[in-house]
Amino acid sequence: MKFTRLVAGALLLVPSLLFAQAQGRIKGIVTDMKGNPIAGAKIVMTCHDIANFHKELATDAKGGFATLIVDATRQYLFHVEAKGYVPVEHLEKPRIGGETLELAYSLQSIKDLQAVAQEQALEQPGFKEAREGQMLLEAGKTVEARAKFAEAVLAKPDLYLAWLAMGDIDQKAGRNDDALMAAEKCLATKPDLPQCLALAMNATQAKGDSTAYQKYLERYKATHPTDPSVYYNDAVDFLNKGDDAKAQPLLEKALEVDAKFADAMFQLGMVYFRTGDTAKAKAMLQRFLDSAPNHKEAPTAKEMLKYM
């Protein structure tokens, strides 16, 4: 009887012994690509063979984590993520028999990944020449810069910023036909880009083509109705004709859009002075000086205030 009881007791111990041997310990660390620990990284564990298995962990200040797996006979999917990093997933098989499986995950920074992608993009045909052209332009080598921009648009015809830069160089050099062509190429890709419209306006104005200039001006007004320079430029046309009555409301409108538009303040102050409204002129010119004390017209404003 003693023998029978001993055998039965031994049999009762077998399942618990096997269950203990099937456990697995896991510890790991999560770092960035430079080996710096990532605190607060999230680890989500799931198992294809166990539908309801779901376990979440978080790394400590040193990027570490640890857990115990009850059934180490199966594979587990580790999903590792952290804010600002690209998540990773790996299948892991815990070790049985008291051994600890040590894991190490390195996460790629999204910012670094974007920087690499941007660097690679800048080396693509067209972008590379445009970047080199900009560097030459900043170094004052205008002729060499224009040649590089020409290479850029030859390689990538829709590179509108290269067209814009090349057109700006041409316009400043008096090559207004070439500048206008570059502006049109730019506008073909970016129809509402203010810089391209401004380039076209400058080129047509320099050519004396008032019809074409008005066409581009109307396009600019339609796409940028809140730009105070639109009203200011119209006012300047009337000022040049000596028509203060028509210039005044345009200058006032420009200041409604941008209360610190220094050029409009100065010109409106002068309009008030010429039309005999000394009080408004004095207030406007003082406002101009307070807002833009280093403006090129500041000395003139100061002299005018002496006589008011």
DSSP 12-61: HHHHHHHHHHT-EEEEEEEEETTS-B-TT-EEEEEETTEEEEEEEEE--T
pLDDT for 141-152, tens place per residue? 999 999 999 999
Q: What is the amino acid identity at position 222? A: A
Q: What is the amino acid identity at position 113? A: L
The one-character DSSP state at 297 is T
User: In this predicted structure, what is the pLDDT of residue 286?
Assistant: 95
Say which range, 109-118, 163-172, 211-220, has the weakest mean pLDDT.
109-118
- Residue pair 38/82 in contact (Cβ under 8 Å)? The answer is yes
* Among the listed residues 67, 32, 33, the one whose alpha carbon sits nearest the alpha carbon of residue 53: 67
Angle (CA) 46 52 54, round 5°: 35
- Residue pair 15/60 in contact (Cβ under 8 Å)? The answer is no
Share of the chain above pLDDT 70, in %: 92
CB under 8 Å to 59, separation ≥6 — which residues?
Answer: 29, 30, 37, 38, 39, 40, 41, 43, 65
Per DSSP, what are the bridge partners of residue 78? 45, 90
Instruction: Taking residues 153-158, report their average pLDDT.
Output: 93
Give residue for tokens 């896991």: 26
Round to whole Å and give the CA distance between 212 and 184. 12
- pLDDT over threshold 60, residue 4: no
Round to whole Å and give the CA distance between 150 and 219. 27
Q: What sign results for the dihedral spanned by CA atoms 130, 132, 134, 136?
A: negative
Computed on alpha carbons and rounded to an integer, the radius of gyration of the chain in Å comes to 36
pLDDT band at 173 (very low <50, low <70, confident <90, very high): very high
User: In this predicted structure, what is the pLDDT of residue 122?
Assistant: 65
pLDDT for 34-68, tens place per residue? 999 999 999 999 999 998 999 999 999 999 999 99
Instruction: Taking residues 76-98, report their average pLDDT.
Output: 92
- pLDDT over threshold 50, residue 12: no
- Residue pair 244/274 in contact (Cβ under 8 Å)? The answer is yes
Element (H, E) at 27: strand 24-32
Give residue for tokens 């680890």: 43
Mean pLDDT (the chain) is: 89
Round to whole Å and give the CA distance between 219 and 167. 19
Per DSSP, what are the bridge partners of residue 69? 24
User: In this predicted structure, what is the pLDDT of residue 109?
Assistant: 92
pLDDT for 185-213, tens place per residue? 999 999 989 899 999 999 999 999 999 99
Instruction: Taking residues 154-158, report their average pLDDT.
Output: 93
Q: What does the block give as tokens for 156?
A: 């990538």
Q: What does the block give as tokens for 249?
A: 């409301």
User: In this predicted structure, what is the pLDDT of residue 226?
Assistant: 79
Buried b / exposed e along 143-153 (16+ C-beta atoms within 10 A) = eebbbbbbbbb
Phi/psi region, residue 28 (left: phi>0; alpha: psi -120 to 50; beta: rest), is beta
Q: What does the block give as tokens for 148?
A: 């590089």
